[in-house]
């Protein structure tokens, strides 16, 4: 843990403008400290994330990619209008293409199934609470998962949604099988990508979902034979719904019913460390959504939170508190804010309102579901 703190402090010295606040406080304690060389920062990165490379050529190539990612992080830092900090992350030695291959979702062009956008009208606006965080309810939100070379964010987000609603409705904590969603997926493409609704369709078709313990996650880009019939079911859903694209009514549903899945543009996340990302349509295209995550809460920063304003123009944004969404990612707990991240609320940040989707859990019913893949 000590290394983590150390690394971000050193980075502040290396890249002027990155995390100014830390830089300034460090200067006071430690005058005249020599800025770190890029190579030294890279070595610290390798230690922190246990990276080794096959040969010197590969090491040199990764160092080069690392340098480009840090430059990119600095650019994102300058563009961000919120309180987000960008810099070294567990993915700093990957090119954007590799990152997409490992953590993206190739099937971005598919069509949503014909589900009506239910729920949500502006009548509710007044009764939305100020804050909401389902992580505070014991047993509702399971541990942060790691996709492990498998593009299954859609399955992990769906599993998290079902787990939370099962806990809220039946006061039982369950952890459901992501591998069953991948193996038995007939609409999507397993570890090569899919949509959250593919996962819900699989749960309906399989008449429930096994536990993670009985049918554990394998990862590593493989789809195995569907073993749904071998394991006993621990959670069931009756259907799934798409919410309206109004952020107030999404907040209201989230606060009263439970976490929902959303699909966002992940372009800013490879370099993200912490804070509230406030993007524009240019820096994070809301039409290009390629990553599914679980929305678990919302709140507002205190007006003092966040890094110091760098420029006069961005200062005005920070005098006021920033409303945000809290999202659970599936890239491990050493990414972001212990595996979570925050996006600005109220500006359709990174396309968060495009596909707000949730399952509705229910004890099993006798009648067999008729399900088909979306067109």
Q: Which residues bind ligand NAG (CB under 6 A)?
A: 50, 52, 186-187, 201-202, 205, 371-373
Cβ atoms 255, 374 nearer than 8 A: no
**Shortest Cβ 138–ligand NAG spacing (Å):** 29
φ, ψ at 164 (rounded to 5°): -65, -45
**Shortest Cβ 365–ligand NAG spacing (Å):** 17
Which entry of 187, 284, 291, 344 is annotated as an active-site residue? 291
Other CB atoms within a 10 A radius of the CB of residue 187 amount to 20
DSSP track, 104-141: S-S--SPPPPS--EES--GGGGGG--S-EEGGGSTTTS
**Shortest Cβ 113–ligand NAG spacing (Å):** 11
Give the whole-angstrom CA distance, residue 76 versus residue 23. 18
**Shortest Cβ 22–ligand NAG spacing (Å):** 27
Which entry of 132, 152, 153, 350 is annotated as an active-site residue? 153
Which entry of 329, 344, 348, 350 is annotated as an active-site residue? 329
The residues, ordered by sequence, that sit 6+ positions from 31 with a Cβ below 8 Å of its Cβ are: none
Choose between 168 and 373: whose C-beta lies nearer to ligand NAG: 373
Calculate the dihedral angle through the C-alpha atoms of 273, 274, 275, 277, rounding to the nearest 10 degrees.
Answer: 40
Residue 241, helix vs strand vs coil: strand
**Shortest Cβ 210–ligand NAG spacing (Å):** 14
Confirm whether 224 is a catalytic residue: no
Q: Which of 173, 154, 145, 119 is nearest to 361 (CA)?
A: 173
Confirm whether 153 is a catalytic residue: yes
Confirm whether 291 is a catalytic residue: yes
What separation in angstroms does the CA of 8 have from each of 93, 122, 139, 209, 274? Answer: 16, 43, 32, 42, 12
Place of tokens 């909401």: 132
Residues marked active site are found at 153, 291, 329
């Amino acid at each position: 843990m000590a290394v983590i703190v150390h690394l971000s402090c050193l980075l502040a010295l290396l890249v002027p403008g990155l995390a100014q606040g830390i830089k300034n406080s460090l200067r006071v304690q430690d005058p005249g400290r020599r800025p770190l060389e890029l190579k030294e920062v890279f070595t610290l990165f390798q230690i922190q994330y246990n990276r080794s490379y096959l040969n010197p050529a590969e090491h040199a190539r990764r160092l080069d990619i690392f340098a480009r990612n840090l430059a990119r992080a600095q650019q994102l830092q300058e563009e961000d209008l919120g309180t987000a900090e960008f810099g070294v992350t567990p993915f700093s030695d990957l090119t954007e293409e590799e990152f997409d291959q490992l953590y993206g979702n190739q099937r971005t062009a598919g069509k949503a199934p014909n589900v009506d956008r239910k729920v949500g009208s502006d009548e509710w606006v007044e009764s939305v609470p100020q804050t909401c965080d389902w992580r505070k309810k014991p047993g509702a939100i399971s541990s942060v998962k790691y996709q492990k070379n498998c593009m299954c964010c859609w399955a992990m987000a769906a599993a998290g949604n079902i787990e939370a609603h099962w806990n809220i409705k039946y006061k039982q904590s369950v952890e459901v099988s992501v591998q069953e969603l991948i193996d038995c997926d007939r609409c999507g493409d397993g570890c090569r990508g899919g949509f959250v609704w593919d996962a819900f369709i699989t749960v309906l078709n399989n008449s429930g979902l096994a536990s993670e313990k009985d049918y554990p996650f394998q990862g590593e880009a493989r789809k195995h034979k569907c073993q749904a019939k071998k394991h006993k079911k621990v959670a069931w859903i009756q259907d799934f719904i798409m919410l309206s694209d109004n952020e107030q009514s999404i907040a209201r549903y989230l606060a009263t019913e439970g976490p929902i899945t959303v699909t966002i543009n992940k372009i800013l996340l490879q370099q993200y460390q912490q804070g509230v990302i406030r993007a524009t349509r240019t820096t994070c295209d809301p039409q290009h959504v390629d990553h599914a995550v679980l929305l678990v809460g919302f709140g507002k920063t205190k007006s003092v939170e966040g890094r110091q304003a760098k420029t006069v123009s961005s200062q005005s944004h920070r005098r006021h508190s920033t409303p945000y969404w809290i999202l659970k990612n599936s890239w491990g707990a050493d990414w972001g804010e212990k595996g979570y991240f925050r996006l600005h609320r109220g500006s359709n940040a990174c396309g968060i309102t495009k596909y707000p989707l949730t399952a509705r859990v229910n004890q099993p019913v006798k009648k067999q579901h008729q399900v088909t893949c979306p067109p």
